[in-house]
Structure 1
Amino acid sequence: MKKRGSRVVILVSSVAAYIPQVEVGVYTVNKTALLGLNRTLSKELAPKGIRVNCLVPGIIETDFSQVVGTGVCPVFP
């Protein structure tokens, strides 16, 4: 990254990382792990001038979001 001059890493998590859903448990675990990876990498790479950020988008209406649209979930009502 230093040789190319590119010094930014962007990870994409999800609001599901903060509000776990049984229906998409594996997805939730993976998105939560990205938050931890972001914190670790940002501390490790900051001295090298590399920034690490994590985007956490909210709900986007897709076929996937309909899987948990049971009315039980406060995030996916």
Structure 2
Amino acid sequence: MDSMYDLIIIGAGPAGLAAGIYGGRAHLNTLILEKSTIGGRAYTTREIVNYPGIPTSSGPDLTAKMSEQAGNFGVEIK
């Protein structure tokens, strides 16, 4: 059976994940589509500094936390 979504986001980089979090928080049935790695290019970055609210992090850690937060709001990532 096909699903109906209120919001479909193309790309699971930091911007796509943030959009998904906001969609999920707004109780929208949200889908994020990613063709390769969740986190996009940020995932391959060794050190990320001055991301809003996070002084320093690695790309994999930051994008894993963002992906987890999106999942906590019911966002589906394919």
TM-score normalised according to structure 2 size: 0.32
TM-score normalised according to structure 1 size: 0.32
The structure in which a higher percent of residues are strand is: 2
The structure in which a higher percent of residues are helix is: 1
Which structure would you say has the larger Rg? Answer: 1
